[in-house]
Amino acid sequence: MPKTAKIPKATITRLSIYDRQLELLEFDGYRVVSSEKLAWLCQVNPAQVRKDLGYFGEFGIRGVGYDVIDLQARIKEILAINRTWNLAIVGVGKLGSALIQHHNFSARGFKCVAAFDNAPDKIGKRIPSGLIIQSVDQLKDTVRELEVEIGVIATPASTAQMVADFLLDAEVNAILNFSPTRIGVPECCLVENIDFTVMLDVLVYKVHHEPKEPRA
Amino acid sequence: MPKTAKIPKATITRLSIYDRQLELLEFDGYRVVSSEKLAWLCQVNPAQVRKDLGYFGEFGIRGVGYDVIDLQARIKEILAINRTWNLAIVGVGKLGSALIQHHNFSARGFKCVAAFDNAPDKIGKRIPSGLIIQSVDQLKDTVRELEVEIGVIATPASTAQMVADFLLDAEVNAILNFSPTRIGVPECCLVENIDFTVMLDVLVYKVHHEPKEPRA
């Protein structure tokens, strides 16, 4: 396997998307898929599919295509999602609650094992997933005890940095940040930000600036 | 203003992030900010800030910095977020409900004016924001009547394409897709995808493959 530093983030993102479509193909009974079909399903071009996979070796048979089950297994191994990862969510407001119960997390092997909030009326309550909301004061002990690997921040912007500092203190090395602000972390911690309204800003910029094709 | 085709999406994304930090600086009473400080707040390097803004003309005064209010106004104009945009959300499950009520949408000028679902027990119910959930059958008429410009898909993957087709039929030209699948749309429609677990896959890939620095 090549050094990961050489592999574009966009390639990793697309591998994740290929994997989803391969799961759907398997579910629909397909055993083999061409790069053309996989590309079409993922809204990319076939050369991109071949280039992305090419970073990681030889896959598929020329003129035949990829084995749906084998390619899934290889991608899951590359992405390190061939095992379960333990998450903790901090901030059990409406968004945090929706995330905890979101089928898509568990379906993809991400297990929410702990939930934290600092609102006194929330601490100690059992949420539908069965978890009991804990105080942020318990974060460090719980994270270590339950071997949490990823922290998910679903708090308002104003408390996001404080939560990040708690997660760092508990030696969590990866954070998915849903709060609408950037958090400062040392190099040893990896962060991905999901800010809906940044995506909306990008979308409206395009709508405003890019001339529309007339509809057929 | 240059042709937008030349401007990287990453620049547009960062403009949106700069704007948020400028709002916070204004709130904190700052009148001027250096590119170094703005860069630090946004977790990028100062040369990047200057390059991003450079696409759109001259901003700031050498040796002094940027006027916090003026730069905000210029960025909002560039992004076309100096006005309100009407959204409709399709899929009022836990995630859709959380999004409708998310403070961050309205704070950034995105107004959710309609909500749709096709579950009989949801249609006709009033949600906390005051909206009444409508049947997807009413989507086309409502979208036109209320001048909805952006459709937000918050349904499961299995119904996302059907919803996208309804939105296209109603001539919505921009879609923010939260469903964990890619949707097929014609060129005239712009789509941004937000799939949490794709982001998690990218994060765990990095955690697994990138050697960690020892902690101090």
Sign of the torsion angle spanned by Cα atoms B163, B164, B169, B171 = positive
Residues with Cβ within 8 Å of residue A196, at least 6 apart in sequence? B99, B102, B104, B105, B176, B194
Written as tens digits, the pLDDT of chain A (216 aa) is: 554 557 999 999 999 999 999 999 999 999 999 999 999 999 899 999 999 999 998 888 888 899 999 999 999 999 999 999 999 999 999 999 999 988 888 888 999 999 999 999 999 999 988 999 999 999 999 999 999 999 999 998 889 999 999 999 999 989 999 998 889 898 889 999 998 889 999 999 999 987 665 554
| Interface predicted TM-score (ipTM) over 0.85 | yes
Q: What is the pLDDT confidence band of residue B213, given thresholds at 50, 70 and 90? A: low
Please report which helix (H) or strand (E) contains residue A48, including its range: helix A46-54
* Closest chain B residue to A16, measured at CA: B198
* Segment B36-94, tens digit of pLDDT: 999 999 989 999 999 999 999 888 888 889 999 999 999 999 999 999 999 999 999 99
Chain B residues touching residue A170 (CB < 8 angstroms)? none
* Cα distance between residue A214 and residue A19, in whole Å: 35
Residues with Cβ within 8 Å of residue A125, at least 6 apart in sequence? A132, A133
Residues with Cβ within 8 Å of residue B88, at least 6 apart in sequence? B112, B113, B114, B115, B116, B139, B142, B143, B146, B148, B150, B151, B152, B172
What is the predicted pLDDT for the residue at A56?
A: 93
CB B108 within 8 A of CB A200: yes
Domain map of chain B by residue range?
A: 4-78, 85-198
State the Cα angle at A105 between B155 and A17, rounded to 5°.
75
**CB contact residues (below 8 A), chain A span 1-60, against chain B:** 4-5, 9, 12-13, 15-17, 19-21, 24, 41-43
Superfamily of domain A85-198: NAD(P)-binding Rossmann-like Domain (3.40.50.720)
What is the predicted pLDDT for the residue at B215?
A: 53
Residues with Cβ within 8 Å of residue A133, at least 6 apart in sequence? A92, A115, A116, A117, A122, A123, A124, A125, A126, A127
Q: What is the pLDDT confidence band of residue B211, given thresholds at 50, 70 and 90? A: low
* Cα distance between residue B109 and residue B105, in whole Å: 7
Per the prediction, chain B carries an average pLDDT of 91
What is the predicted pLDDT for the residue at B212?
A: 63
What is the predicted pLDDT for the residue at B60?
A: 82
Separation in Å, CA of B81 to nearest CA in chain A: 7
Tell me the pTM: 0.87
Separation in Å, CA of A21 to nearest CA in chain B: 8
b/e for B143-155, b at 16 or more Cβ within 10 A?
Answer: beeeebbbbbbbb
* Cα distance between residue A147 and residue A41, in whole Å: 36
Percentage of chain B surpassing pLDDT 90?
A: 75
What is the predicted pLDDT for the residue at B132?
A: 97
Please name the member of A85, A104, A207 whose beta carbon is closest to the beta carbon of B196: A104
What is the predicted pLDDT for the residue at A105?
A: 86
* Partner A contacted by B199 (CB < 8 A): yes
How many beta-carbon pairs under 8 angstroms link A with B? 208
CB B188 within 8 A of CB A212: yes
Which CATH code is given to the segment(s) B4-78?
1.10.10.10
User: Is B202 in contact with A12 (Cβ distance < 8 A)?
Assistant: yes
**pLDDT top residue among A164 and B181:** A164
* Segment B14-34, tens digit of pLDDT: 999 999 999 999 999 999 999
**CB contact residues (below 8 A), chain B span 67-86, against chain A:** 78-81, 85
Give how far the C-alpha of residue B83 lies from the chain's centroid of Cα atoms, to the nearest Å: 14
* Partner A contacted by B104 (CB < 8 A): yes
User: Is A196 in contact with B194 (Cβ distance < 8 A)?
Assistant: yes
* Partner B contacted by A141 (CB < 8 A): no
